[in-house]
Amino acid sequence: MNFFLETLQVLLLSLWYNVEAFVHLFIPASRKNVAGEVVLITGAGSGIGRLMALEFAGLGTALVLWDINQEGMKETARLAKERGAIRVHYYLCDCSDKTEVYRVADQVKREVGDVSILVNNAGIVTGKKFMDAPDSLIEKTMEVNTMAHFWTYKAFLPAMMANNHGHLVSIASTAGLIGVNGLADYCASKFAAVGFAESVGLEMLASGKDGVKTTIVCPYFINTGMFDGCQTKWPRLMPILNPDYVVKKIIQAILTDQVYLLMPKSMYLITGLKNILPMKQGILLGQYLGAFNLMDSFKGRSKKQE
């Protein structure tokens, strides 16, 4: 294709895609049917993981729950069955351990079958400034929040590619788009998770596996206990998010094959400004929004909450 024709194609398709996006502001995209799909959720013993399991249960899916909290998974499984899940299986799995991820994944494939929707949700936060964070906690953060995604993709993506059907969901964070004072290791892990998910999504498209979808979720702080004590300077602009609201938006994004989901909506503007403003103005804006002090009163999740 010569330069003129290729450029014309890009211009016409760009116009069409913008019109399509504008129309979807008023007419919601159609939702796909996931009844009968096998959904695996890591970190399913509590918080967002549990709530996603319950939402998927109501859609008639088979659920595979992973967590290091046996009692939490049992409770999630019980609630999911009440919600209508066709099958519920749960497995103890430390997602920071590659060997264990592969071992439990093989067990899932033998006992349940191929996973068609993979939700990488498990995550941890140290809540310490970089120089105060022990090496072991930094390594654990990267292993759970980032490397676990590599191993679960390696385990379950081949079947999705063979069938040209599946959905990869990464529960990342707005801290994977903008650096935050006091969250160096967490931001690093989430930036990596976002980049990894974007890259694999492009690999799927480039290899013709357009039936394997990707959704990357980047929420602000969620009121699940993980970031207890953190304060937001402007709650109307950047509110601490309600877990039920977040989960409903995530499920909607998955069912409509939405690639990126940022919450609250103000984060679309803030992340866009970060990339175009002069550095000094960006830092000034960060100070104004409270990014320098978000973690000052961090407490985190208590043992009881875990």
What pLDDT does residue 104 have? 98
pLDDT surpassing 80 at residue 87 = yes
What pLDDT does residue 302 have? 53
Residues annotated as part of the active site: 186
Residue 209 is assigned to a structural domain of this protein: yes
pTM of the model: 0.91
Mean pLDDT of the chain: 92
Helices (H) and strands (E) in the chain, counts: 10, 7
- Tell me the pLDDT band of 108, cut-offs 50, 70 and 90: very high
pLDDT surpassing 80 at residue 25 = no
Number of structural domains the chain divides into: 1
Residue 302 is assigned to a structural domain of this protein: no
What pLDDT does residue 296 have? 73
Residue 300 is assigned to a structural domain of this protein: no
Residue 56 CA to residue 50 CA, distance in Å, equals 10
CATH number at residue 282: 3.40.50.720
pLDDT tens string 49-81: 999 999 999 999 999 999 999 999 999 999 999
Residue 234 is assigned to a structural domain of this protein: yes
pLDDT surpassing 60 at residue 304 = no
Residue 15 is assigned to a structural domain of this protein: no
Strand ranges for the chain from DSSP E:
38-42, 62-67, 87-92, 117-120, 166-171, 212-219, 260-263
Residue 227 is assigned to a structural domain of this protein: yes
Lowest mean pLDDT among 147-156, 194-203, 291-300: 291-300
What pLDDT does residue 306 have? 44
Residue 298 is assigned to a structural domain of this protein: no
pLDDT surpassing 90 at residue 293 = no
Residue 42 is assigned to a structural domain of this protein: yes
Give the domain extent around 59: 33-289
Q: Which amino acid is at 186?
A: Y
What pLDDT does residue 1 have? 62
Q: What is the mean pLDDT of residues 126-146?
A: 93
Q: What is the mean pLDDT of residues 252-260?
A: 96
Residue 52 CA to residue 167 CA, distance in Å, equals 15
